[in-house]
Structure 1
Amino acid sequence: MKRRLVSLRALCGLAGIVCLSVAAAAPASADPLLDETVEFTGSVLFLQTKVPGLLIGAVRNGDTAIYGFGESSDGGKEPDGDTVLRIGSITKAFTGQVLAALTADGTVSLTQRLGELAPDLGTGKDPNVSAIRLIDLATHSAGLPRELPREPGPADDPLNTITRDGFVSWLNTEPLLYAPGTGVLYSNFAFDLLAIGLSDAAKTPYPELLKKHVTGPLGMSDTTFELDEEQKTRFMQGHNFDGKPLPDIPTGDMAVGSGGLYSTPKDLLRWMQWHLDRLAEKDAETRLLDHAAYLVRDNLNPVQGMDESGHMDAMSLAWVVMMPEGNRPLILQKAGGLQGTFAYIAFAPTRGVAAFVAINKFDFGAAMTMAEVVNEMIATLAPR
């Protein structure tokens, strides 16, 4: 499999046409249409969003293309396939895959109640707390708020006030927002509880579970909760809404289910190839459990926080399911944002196509645009 890694060297506009000059030494992919589509899409998106740096990549039928534009840090080099970045809530899709793997091997079941695995999290002021199942947590349908209400942490470690005791305290004093399974409300709270439940069930720290069931077997050595010194030299600096650089922050022990991972484009596309290998015998049950649509939108109330990157038609294990529409095939997708970086990943499981994009500045308009553009690019590469 060949990867084409190039950067934007020169841009010129004439009658709406973007002209590119790229490194002549860049190796050609075995899929020239993939190269052409990803390169052009990324260059136009970079010009349109005006962000400091942008990464875009795609895989189709085993071939990959990755392009970087701008700067990975202020005054630094162009980002590329080895650039390390925060992927924010894309972490949730990894947590969903761990749930699928532990369900496939019999450690847990999707309908198992959280309180059976973590008794301190299974009771509360609202009697419905005892009814929360793992599948409710993994589909944002447990009736929990988006965030655990808490005191803000220090600027250099803002996530350290997310604690297990804080989860227990909230459940003991507050009602759920709706009965589990009846609505969908985007919830970081839920996925951190899910990671706790899975860890308690397997009697293994959650980062070790992730490495055992996902990142280790796939050789995703740059997908981690904590960077080593070498990885720090490849880190992409995030920027706030005002354009000022944001410091990197530690994930801590409790935000591991919802949004703490680092990764690289190469690792993420390797992960996508696993998801696209839908007829493979190895991990077949895990993949089927992970991709199945468990909640359809019809008759859910509320549905909130799920449509920023494309209309949610159903929920898989963390994945937002978008049914086919026009030329666009069925897509499973997830977006994430943390410390000045927005990222988006999506795949068409029946078409052998997946794509990833990230920008290193907080800009909601740019984030919604990049998701729309990537969904359209998937439709171009895998039309119905």
Structure 2
Amino acid sequence: MDATPAPRAYGVDLRDHLVFPGLINAHDHLHVNAIPALGGHAPFPNSYAWIRAFQEHFQAPEVMAALRLPKALRMRHGALKNLLAGTTCVAHHDPWHPVLDEEDFPVALLRDYGWSYALGWPEYGPPVRESFAATPAEHPWLIHLAEGTDAVARAELAQLDQIGCLAGNSVLIHGVGLSSEDIERAIAQAAAVVWCPSSNLRLLGHTLDPRRLCAAGRLALGSDSRLSGARDLLDELAGAVDRYGLDPAQLLALVTTQAAHILRMPSRGHLQPGAVADLVVVEDLGGDPVRSLAGIARSQIRAVLRDGMPRIADPDFAEWFAVAGVDAVPVTLDGRPKLLASALADPALLALEPGLELAAGPCSDERVLVAASGGLG
């Protein structure tokens, strides 16, 4: 961001507020966030056992109905889920889809990267060795690894290293089965891990100890999809506050500066000159400023901006939408009134997100331009 206000720039009174960079979700599968989760089987010894159990779940009527929805719509829903919780950039760990390139896609995406799915599931995604070799060293290379507590998961880091795919750009998703020796081995290679504790605990009954990786700057946080993980990254942060031996500032780094460094996105995760203008505005609750973000519900966020434009905000920011020329509609988010950019208010999209709906009233079914009235008080 340019620190010098432009002529005729619009001023927003944010006294008693805090401004954070847009959060970075280092791991999600955007297209499956509306798919009903598998219940009644956990804990699994590893993710491969979960995948096998899920095959029968695909035949459930509610799963089949969800999968019949267009993938583009499901991708947009996964992105909207993230945006509502202050996440403006996501690492999507699946094949690319044309909708991800649309100008009005709700979030920014990690783009310069390589990926494979997992060592034990070679039939899905790019082949491991070929994908790693084709990924430039300056770009991150993502793979699910050691996602389990059994011998299969515990052996995977050594296997990855043996085939020459453990390096400074290797980003290992989950890492639950990593031993302390494995963690030191990964750090020595400058590899990194994406930690998804809610997903780990739900599927495996266990998650990794994040302290050593965090201290080395080699840890980021991901929500995973709702198939197994938290509702969103903000809920993931709230669940980790005062747990796992990490203080609030360390947790914030996992979704801002540290995530940006690991994913090689120098213009994200901070508020210094040159950063993208993706912002999260919250009320200053006093005390440790990070706790004004880490620990709140998504409905408590005052505003989320993408590229300097408000996308969802409290109604008293109506003038901000109007001055920015952003068409918006009134909605409720978990029972609280909000304004949502109308480009995100497709009824089919809103129908997929529990807790988000058009506000009741005579204009609730129309796309309206929020009038520049009332201001910010």
The alignment's TM-score, normalised by the length of structure 2, stands at 0.26
Q: Which has the higher contact order (CA 8 A, sep 6+)?
A: 1
The alignment's TM-score, normalised by the length of structure 1, stands at 0.25
